[in-house]
Structure 1
Amino acid sequence: MKVVLGVSGGIAAYKACELLRLFTESGHEVRVVPTREALKFVGAPTWAALSGNPVSAEVWDDVHEVPHVRIGKQADLVVVAPATADVLAKAAYGLAGDLLTNTLLTATCPVVFAPAMHTEMWQHPATRANVATLRERGAVVIDPAVGRLTGADTGPGRLPDPAEIFQVCLRVLRGRPRDLAGRKIVVSAGGTREAIDPVRYIGNRSSGLQGYALARTAVARGAEVTLVAANVVLPDPAGASVVRVESAAQLREAVLAASDGADVVVMAAAVADFRPATRHDAKIKKSDAEPEPIHLTKNPDILAELGERRRQAGDAVLPASDPGLGVRDAGDARPGRGAYPLVIVGFAAETHDVLANGQAKLARKGCDLLVVNRVGEGLVFGTPDNAATVLVAGGEPVDVPLGPKEDVADTVWDLVAARLG
C-alpha cells in the first residue's frame, strides 16, 4: 500500500518518525510530506532516510512530475500526524499553500488526521467546527489524548501513541465503511477485581484485548468512543476517551454514566459475578489455624440492568427478520439522544454447552447481540486471536472463524450498523 505521511509543525513532529517506521517495517511504501514549519522540528534528511523517498514541502520542486496532484492521487491512505490547528483549518477550507495541503485536496483515498495542540486550541470553537467539517466529508479525525503537553501544561491535545495511530490506520486500510460516523459508543474492557483485603482480590484472566479491538475499530469507522477499562495494561486506543476502573461497582457506575445519550453499549469486560461480602481493612495474616471462609455476595448485573432500563424507557425492538433493522429510530419517543442505548451488545465466556448457555443469556439479559466465546487454557484470554459466535435476538447466529480479534470487532460493528439503520 502507498501511504502519504503528512507532518505539520508541532513539537510532536518527532513522534511521527516512529509512525513512519511502523509503516515501512510492515511493508508499506511511505512518502513523507512535511510542512515548512515541520522541517524546523525534524529535517528533511531524517524523513528521507527513514522512508527511502525524496522529501519536499514545496509544490515547486520536481514540477515536471506534478507532485501536487500525483502524490495524492496515487495514495491508498493519507495520514497527517501531528495535525496542527493550522493544518486542520486549511484542510477544512480547502486552502492549498504548500505540498501537503495540495495533496489533501487531490487525495481520493481515505484521510486520517491525528491532531496535536494545546488544550485551548483544540477546544476553541473554530477548531471544533473545522473538525466537524472534515468528519462530515468522510475524514477520520482522531481525538487527541489527554496528558502532558509542551511545558507544564496538561490536558486534551497530546498526540496519541504512534503505535495506536498506526492501528487505526490499519483498520482504515482494511476498507471498512465509516458507518458509525456521529454515533456515540461505549465499550467496556478488561476484568474486574473484587478486593478481599488491601493486598488480595478475586479476579479473572481477561486482558482487555477484545474490548480494545472493538474500540479501535469503532474509532476507524467514525464513532465517538468511550472505553471503560478494568485493570488493563494496554496503551490507550487512539481517539477513544478512556475511563479506568477496578471493581464491578466502579465499572457499573462508569458504564451507566457514559451510556447516558449513547447509541450503542458493548459490554466486553469480564465482570465478576461475585465479590467478598466483607472487605478486610488490613491484610489477612497467615497463622497455624485454617483461614476463615470467604463469603461471597452477588455483584450487580450491569448488562441486564442496561436492558431493563431500555425496556422501561419504552424502546421498541423489531424482529430481526425486519429488513436487517433490529431497533427502530424511536424518533417520536427519543428526540435527539435519550438516556438509553439503541443497541446493547453483551459477551459470554463459556466452558461448556456454549451455544445453549449463550441463547439463554441472550434472552435473560435483554440485549440485541451476544458474542459467545469458548474459554479455557490458551483460549481467548490474553491471546491476539479469537473465534466466536454472535447470537442475534430474533435472528440467525453469525460465526466468526479463528482470526485476529479485530475480525470479531468488525463483525460486531457490521451487525450493529445494520440495526442502527
Structure 2
Amino acid sequence: MPQATPLLRLLNVLLAPGMRTRKDPDAVYERLLQEVQSGRATLGADDLAAVDGLRLLLGDLAAYPELSAMGWSSTQDQVRDRLRNRVVVREAQASRPEVRDEPVTGPVFVVGLPRTGTTLTYNLIARHPGHRGPKLWEMTNLGLPRPEAERERLIAQARKRFATVAKLSPAWAHLHPLIADSEEEDFMLRAHTEMYATWGPLPRYLDHVAKADLTDDYLFLRDALQVMAAGEAPERWVIKHPMNLWRMPEILRAFPDARFVWTHRAPAAAVASGSSMAEATHVLYTKPGRIDLDRIGREWLEISAGGVERAIRLREELPADAVIDVVYDDLLADPRSVLRGVFERLDLAWGEADDANLAASLDRTGHRPHVYTLERYGLDEAQVAAAFSAYTIPASVLGRSADM
C-alpha cells in the first residue's frame, strides 16, 4: 500500500501557508498566466481560449477538501508549465518563422488504456533508427534546440528533479519511472487530458474535456514538436498517451498522415492496474490517510470504459489502415514477433538496433512485479464487464496478432 514518506510529510508542513490561495483559484490562474507572460510573448485570444479549461482544473482541486499542501503546489507548477509551453512556442515561431515549415511526417501515435503494453510498444517504435519521441527533459524545458553542453546541463537538472519525485512517492517511481533522457507522454506538452484525474476529483474539468474538441491541443503539439527539433527533425515522430485513444479524429485533423498502434488488454486487468497507478499518484496530492480507494475505482472505470466506447465508435470514421492492433497477451508471449509485425505494417525494416532495444526494454533486473486487484478499489469483474460491454476485440485482430 503506498504511503506518504517522511520527506513528503515534511514538505506538506512547509508548504502549508500556500494553501490560503485555494480560496480564490481564479486569481491563482490569472497570476500564473501573468507570470509566464511577464517580459515575454503575450498569448492571443485563441491560445487563451484553448488553455482556459486549466482554470477549471485549478478550481476543482482547490475545492477538494483532502488536497495536500504538496498537491496544491504541484498543481500550480503543472498549470504554469502548460501555460509557459504556449508562450515559448509562440516566441520561437515569432523569432524563427521557418520553424512552422519543419516536417512532421507520418507520426505514429501509440494508444491504449494505461498498463496495456503501450510503453514497450512506444519505446521500440520511438527508438528505431531515424525515429524519436519527445524526451522528458526537453518537454519540461521546452525550447529551440540547444548546444550540447546546455542539453547536458538541463538533463542533469531534470534527473535531480525527478529523483526527488521518486523519494516523495516510491510507489509512483516503481509504476512509472521518470527518466530524464527517455521518451515520455505528450500530455506534458499539451494542455488537456483526463489523466489529471489521478490527482484528485475533477467533476467540472472532466465534464469540460468530455465535451471539448481538442483539435487545437494537437495542432499545438505539432507546433511544439517543430520548435523542439528545429533543424533536427527526425524521419518520424512517435507519440504516446493513453487518452489519445479517444481523440484519433482530432489527431488526424492536426496530423493528417498519422498512424495509430492500439494496444488491447482484458479490461479488468487494465482498470485494476490503472487504479493502482492513480492511487500512487494520489499519495502526492492527498492528505496522508485520506485517499478514497472506492472513488478512484469508480472514476477510473468510468473514464476508461467511456473512453474505449468512444474510441470504438470514432474508429469507424478513420481510414481502414489508420489503426494497427496489438493484443497485450500476445505481446507478452512473443514480443519480437508481435513488434516485427507492427513494424512491417508501418513499412519499417527490423534490424540489429531493434533487437538491442527490445532486449534492453525486456531486461527485468531489479524489477518488482506490480500487484493490484479490482477489489481494493471497490470493483468486481461483473461491474467491469458491464461497463465495457461495447468493447470486443474482433476475431480478425486476435488472429492477425497471433500470427505476427
Query: TM-score, normalized by length of structure 1?
Result: 0.26
- The structure with the largest strand share of the pair is 1
| Larger Rg over CA atoms | 1
Structure with greater helix percent: 2
Higher relative contact order (CA 8 A, sep 6+): 2
